[in-house]
Amino acid sequence: MNAPDRHRDWTNANQRLLVAEFARLKQQLGGAGDAEALNATLEAASEAMPEPAAIDRLVQCCGLSAFERDVVVLCAGVEMDAQLAAQCEIAGAEPRRHGATFGLALAALEAPHWSALAPVGPLRRWRLVEIDESAGLARGRLRIDERILHYLAGVNYLDPRLRSLLREAAPPAAMADAHRAVCDAACNALAAAAAQGEAPLLWLSGDDAPGQTDVATEVATVLGLRLHVLRADDVPAGPAEMEALATLWEREALLLGSALLVSGGAEALPAPVVRFIESLRGLVFVSAGQPRTLERPTLRFTIDKPGPVEQKRLWQQALGAGADRLDGALDGVAGQFKLSARAIQAEGAQLAPALAASDHPDELMWSACRDLGRARLDELAQRIESIAGWADLVLPEAQMAVLRQIGAHVRHRLKVHLEWGFADKGARGLAVSALFAGESGTGKTMAAEVLARELRLDLYRIDLSAVVSKYIGESEKNLRRVFDAAEDSGAILLFDEADALFGKRSEVKDSHDRYANIEVSYLLQRMEAYRGLAILTTNLKGALDVAFQRRLRFVVQFPFPDRVLREAIWRNAFPGRTPLNEIDTGKLARLNVTGGSIRNIALNAAFRAAEFDEPVSMAHLLHAAHHDAGKREHALSDAETRGWL
């Protein structure tokens, strides 16, 4: 017999049992019928249940006495059986008062006790029934909670009052081996704690929030439970609302057989939310930053995104036969991007058909992974379209060699770190970070663009005004968001004018100096831990903290271009389609300016020539050069412009 048939049989049997229960209560309230015959019918209906009836499950879950059980059935019968409702009206001391009252229950039902309506008793503790207290406890009408009424009828669903707050977690389609090991460890630890009579929290931290949800779901499944997820931000602030939420959830945990995951992201949870979590009964998971202390016994596990080797296996599983067309491209994808198993599974399902039809599946795969990280980073930093190539970058050969070496380090990290074992020696010093130092306009940002284009990675400029905050601790939070978002896509981070953020640590004279130093120390830590390429640019190399310079793998000094370099920059300043009229790059190279100024002068000259519908000439360039010098408040000398006209 399949599951739908078994459920249908149970539902029919459960309905027959309720009918028998209502008949018994009608007889106790003075109705017709033989008590022995009714009890025999009820016993037969109970024995015919293929599984425990809903009322019996409720009794077991909530710890109801026989009298409390009958009160619940009586209140349900008033709603479901018109004859029982009429019988209650006839039997009541006040015939005009519709429905059941506690006084009627005390008078008519077996084994009555006043404590049944105590606020701490199960009827009110679990909000099974509500009472109209305006008429007093004895005469006030009892009404069964709608959720409980439907549960007794065999319809088990999440309480509508919680639907906007909770979502049920889907079982993971794939998991990393390391995460499965955490599941096994968690189940063993829970079993050991249960043997000691403890019910600990399971606190999950790390950088893989979807992975934490998958681990919690898998552990709950092993224990025969479902899992519902509650966002920490949705926990109400008021104590009364918090208590009501706790009560409703604990009741749902019993009725649905579910565990709860409170998801708070990477940040530490506020103290009131932590206290709310600690007050919950049943199996509770927390996905958030680790707190210092907890009053409730806690099992702690760290769940980070899978490593490159594991990610490659997950991609192969998600893509199926399509992975064979990628040749060695999966190694590069797994080494560059840091994705959760859930993200890989979802993206793989969408990519598989497209990869099968594509003539360039490796490029399609790389672009899809790169795009995954853009949604988060675009909200935190400015993405720069990388158009410039190596031919556009004019630098001395020594600097060009270092830039090419930076690209090689990023490309071959997986081979050196994992295959050749350098990561086994520790994670410290494995980060690829670089300092580009030099005057404004010497090509620092363009060099970052060139690297991003060659490596096929996104380049993001960090807006320091949006990151640095005057409020203590906010700068670290802002930077954490940037680094965490960048980890997924392996984007290149460009801290422009970084001396403003990564400056020398000051001598501690007051609390603000101490917190400023904490920010710098945090930045040092994140720079070393970041898997991607982080580039710092500065006009004042001497302003950088010495500790930063020690931790930077590359330092590239962008010199002020000499005459030979300036002439090379001038030759590249005009696109091939630009009409030119006897441009002398040798004479232009006498102009003592940076490459950035050269590009501005060439662009302004082109606009002036377009205005007069003429080819770009030395006259247009002379006018643009004087305009640029005016901006810099530096007049041009005769030696620089002699012979231009």
Look at the chain and count its residues: 645
Cα distance between residue 232 and residue 217, in whole Å: 18
CATH class belonging to 390-558: alpha beta
* 120: CB partners within 8 A, 6+ apart: none
Candidates 550, 512, 534, 516; CA nearest to 432 is: 534
Cα distance between residue 537 and residue 347, in whole Å: 35
Cα distance between residue 141 and residue 102, in whole Å: 7
In the chain the first and final C-alpha atoms are separated, in Å, by 98
For the chain, the 3-state helix, strand and coil shares in percent, each to the nearest 5, are 55, 10, 30
Collapsing DSSP to helix, strand or coil, 580 comes out as strand
* Domain regions of the chain by residue span: 3-157, 162-302, 309-371, 390-558, 563-641
Q: Which amino acid is at 195?
A: A
pLDDT for 341: 94
DSSP alpha helix (H) spans, 158-264: 177-195, 209-222, 239-256
pLDDT for 97: 53
The residue ranges of the chain whose pLDDT is under 70 are: 1-3, 92-98, 292, 425-430, 464-473, 499-521, 541, 543-545, 547-548
The tokens for 218 are 């898998």
* 416: CB partners within 8 A, 6+ apart: 422
Report the 10 Å Cβ neighbour count for 454: 17
pLDDT for 450: 96
pLDDT for 472: 59
pLDDT for 165: 95
CATH class belonging to 162-302: alpha beta
Task: Tell me if 88 sits within 8 A of 78, measured CB to CB.
Answer: yes
Cα distance between residue 79 and residue 147, in whole Å: 13
For the stretch 165-216, pLDDT in tens is: 999 999 999 999 999 999 999 999 999 999 998 889 999 999 899 999 999 9
390-558 matches 162-302 in CATH topology? yes
Cα distance between residue 532 and residue 552, in whole Å: 13
Strands 142-144 and 129-131: antiparallel
The tokens for 44 are 């037969």
* 280: CB partners within 8 A, 6+ apart: 246, 249, 250, 260
Note the CATH number of domain 563-641: 1.10.8.60
Instruction: Report how many helices (DSSP H) and strands (DSSP E) the chain contains, helices first.
Output: 29, 16
DSSP alpha helix (H) spans, 490-617: 511-529, 546-551, 563-571, 585-588, 595-611
